[in-house]
Amino acid sequence: MIPQNDLAAGYAQYQPLIDTAVDRVAKSGFYILGREVERFEHEFAGYVGVSYGVGVASGTDAIEVALRACHIGPGDLVLTVSHTAVATVVGIERSGAAVALVDVDPATYTMSPASLESVIATLPGDAPRPKAVVPVHLYGQLADMPAICDIAQKHGLRVIEDCAQAHGAALGDRRAGTWGVAAAFSFYPTKNLGALGDAGLIVTDDAALASDARQLRQYGWGDQRLSQRVGVNSRLDELQAAILVEKLTLLDLDNDRRREIAGAYNEALAAAEIKTPATRENSDHVYHQYVIQSDRRDALRDFLAERNIGTAIHYPRAVHQQPAYQDRLMGCERLPATEELVPTILSLPIYPQLNDDRLAEIRVALHAWSRRG
């Protein structure tokens, strides 16, 4: 079976680096918020192109803490998309803010600036005050950040990027994480830069925001462990930070391999009645997922499964269609592009350790599907 993702293959490739990192931490006798965390915060912030990094326990926590560090909470409204991992909405709601949903661009699957402007213009009079927008850089490609930032500036909104699927992605000469006042990264094991467990990071150029986030992540502590505000327990541990320090050195090579795989799929599907991923002009896509669209999605998935090729659906339901969120979030009634995506999307196998022989098997299967018409 060729899996849609293979974390064990990733560990096998990087085992010497990972084992060295784990041994270093184990022997240090310091396991929470120590030198490894400080090193990763510094090195990843530098890689992104900002001044500060604040390690937290997960990407979801990174969204919550970043919003709270921006003084966004109860009585405020945050705009985001419904075609995303539910973690985006969970992080916003945990800050205390309400959520309004924005439709996506049908070509790139990322936030539609036109829909964002429309949602802001038509908010009911009794809605909470809009304070922030959280664009999601989905599947490895940045949202239309110049347009989104212009709209945010026009309406006095703070931009907090959800970069969980965009490690190393860029638009022009600016990487994901450099467009907003802050950005949230996840290092969940499946990410382009993944830990061996949960891990997250907030990046920013704002020194005061970074200081507030550091307080919030650990009980609101200031000097002498006195809580200056109500905080949380969300600490990036030393083991995960040390592993991420080592794997960061290989992120660009891994992303290059993902692009090679995506190029092979583009060629294999050139003649098929399948919509391949669109790449925004001047965009550096890192293909966290390679997501196609087909009106015969389920038949294609079965066809590939019969040939021992695994696939996945990211995501089988938009957030507003899931039981916990139906009819509870603002804007659910105006998401036509999002709802049209759900029954057609399919994620093909993509991970840096997918070798050429297995890639060739997948290409043969895709060519066979194309010939079927």
Residue 18 has pLDDT above 90, yes or no: yes
Q: What would the pLDDT profile of 94-127 be if each residue is shown by its tens digit?
A: 999 999 999 999 999 999 999 999 999 999 999 9
Q: Label residue 132 exposed, middle or buried (CB < 10 Å: 0-12, 13-18, 19+).
A: buried
Residue 371: pLDDT band with limits 50, 70, 90: confident
User: What is the rounded CA–CA span in Å between residue 287 and residue 354?
Assistant: 13
Looking at residue 276, its pLDDT comes to 97
Q: What would the pLDDT profile of 118-170 be if each residue is shown by its tens digit?
A: 999 999 999 999 999 999 999 999 999 999 999 999 999 999 999 999 999 99
Looking at residue 261, its pLDDT comes to 98
Q: Label residue 344 exposed, middle or buried (CB < 10 Å: 0-12, 13-18, 19+).
A: middle
What would the CATH number be for the domain defined by 7-248? 3.40.640.10
Residue 111's contacts (CB-CB under 8 Å, 6 or more residues apart) are: 80, 81, 102, 104, 105, 133, 135, 136, 143, 144, 148
Structure-token pair, residue 26: 């184990």
User: What is the rounded CA–CA span in Å between residue 29 and residue 282?
Assistant: 46
Residue 327: pLDDT band with limits 50, 70, 90: confident
Q: Write down the residue that tokens 């006042």 correspond to.
A: 181
Q: Taking residues 198-218, what's their average pLDDT?
A: 98
Looking at residue 354, its pLDDT comes to 98
Residue 54's H or E segment, with its range, is strand 52-56
Per-domain residue ranges of the chain:
7-248, 251-372
Looking at residue 329, its pLDDT comes to 94
Q: Which CATH fold would you assign to the domain 251-372?
A: Aspartate Aminotransferase, domain 1 (3.90.1150)
Residue 231 has pLDDT above 80, yes or no: yes
Residue 81 has pLDDT above 70, yes or no: yes
Residue 373: pLDDT band with limits 50, 70, 90: low
Q: What would the pLDDT profile of 247-304 be if each residue is shown by its tens digit?
A: 999 999 999 999 999 999 999 999 888 999 999 999 999 999 999 999 999 999 999 9
Looking at residue 328, its pLDDT comes to 87
Q: What would the pLDDT profile of 333-350 be if each residue is shown by its tens digit?
A: 889 999 999 999 999 999
Residue 253's contacts (CB-CB under 8 Å, 6 or more residues apart) are: 352
Q: Which stretches does DSSP call E strand in 246-313?
A: 283-284, 290-293
Q: Percent of the chain at pLDDT above 90?
A: 95
Looking at residue 62, its pLDDT comes to 98
